Amino acid sequence: MEKEDKRGIFFGVIGVLTLIVAIIGASLAYFSINAKSEDNALTVKAATVKIVYEDGDKLNVTNIIPSDQTIALRTFTRTGDDDGQGGTYKTCIDDKGFTTCGYYDFTLTNDGPTEMEIIAKVIPTALVKEEKNEQGEVTTKGEIPFKHLKFVLYDRTGISGEFDNGSNIVYTGTIPYSEVSGEYTEFSLLGATGDETMKIAGNHTTKNLRLFVWLDEAGADNDAEQGATFKGTVNVEVKGAKTITGEATQ
């Protein structure tokens, strides 16, 4: 940011919905080729809104500001610790009371008998474009994109502490935006090429995953992200399921 006090006008929210995906065994592949979260399950918006979890819990995250990853993670992991002023630290809130991050927990379970490979990606929702009437007056305000929105996917399987991300990082990336198309582009949660997969053993094996998101500090370049919006839907697919066809040799 150009000036420190400009952070005070950078208000936003990161809200997410609970996602529980069951990947069934190969014998039921036709019924589980694709599982996805609720539309726009991942929402990042520089405005004050309320997002409701599927399980009924509510998440209010406001006043998002740019920060580096170290600070964002620290404001998360210190949740509940003594703040030295007779209280405790709140999740993703920095020392000045601003929000630095958001997180999204989801679970993948393979109820089949054999190991499976899954593909996990996010399909962005198209940004609303500005519209004008014949008089040149703006009738629909266009949405502004984030260009420094980053994420880490953690595999938290076996970790019990709510605010412990663990050390098993699956992938770290930036939510991609194309200057050419003026839109966000589809991206994988598992790797840079989009072809990466995650293996999940059979017999009701569960993976507990956490998507951690923050707006990376970029100095004056963050100014253009005031009022920015990101929305997307998580898609989880069984690798190769779309090519399965029935065969009868006899």
The per-residue pLDDT for range 96-146, each reduced to its tens digit, is: 888 888 888 888 888 778 888 888 888 888 999 989 999 999 899 998 888
pTM for this entry: 0.74
**Buried b / exposed e along 202-226 (16+ C-beta atoms within 10 A):** eeebebbbbbbbbbbbeeeebeebe
Structural domain boundaries enclosing 19: 4-240
Q: Is residue 134 part of a domain?
A: yes
Q: Is residue 246 part of a domain?
A: no
Residue 1: pLDDT over 50: no
Token look-up 């958001």 returns 102
The encoded tokens of residue 179 equal: 């200057």
| Contact status, residue 230 vs residue 49, Cβ threshold 8 Å | no
Domain count of the fold of the chain: 1
Question: Smallest Cα–Cα separation from 171: which of 196, 146, 148?
Answer: 196
Q: Is residue 250 part of a domain?
A: no
In 83-228, beta strands by DSSP E? 102-110, 116-124, 131-132, 138-140, 149-155, 169-174, 177-178, 183-184, 187-188, 198-200, 205-215
Q: Is residue 42 part of a domain?
A: yes
Q: Is residue 248 part of a domain?
A: no
The encoded tokens of residue 139 equal: 């009738």
Dihedral (C-alpha) 19, 20, 22, 23: value to the nearest 10 degrees? 30
Q: Model confidence over 22-52: pLDDT tens digits?
A: 322 222 332 333 445 556 656 554 432 222 2
Alpha-carbon torsion 21, 38, 74, 89, what sign? Answer: negative
The encoded tokens of residue 83 equal: 């703040």
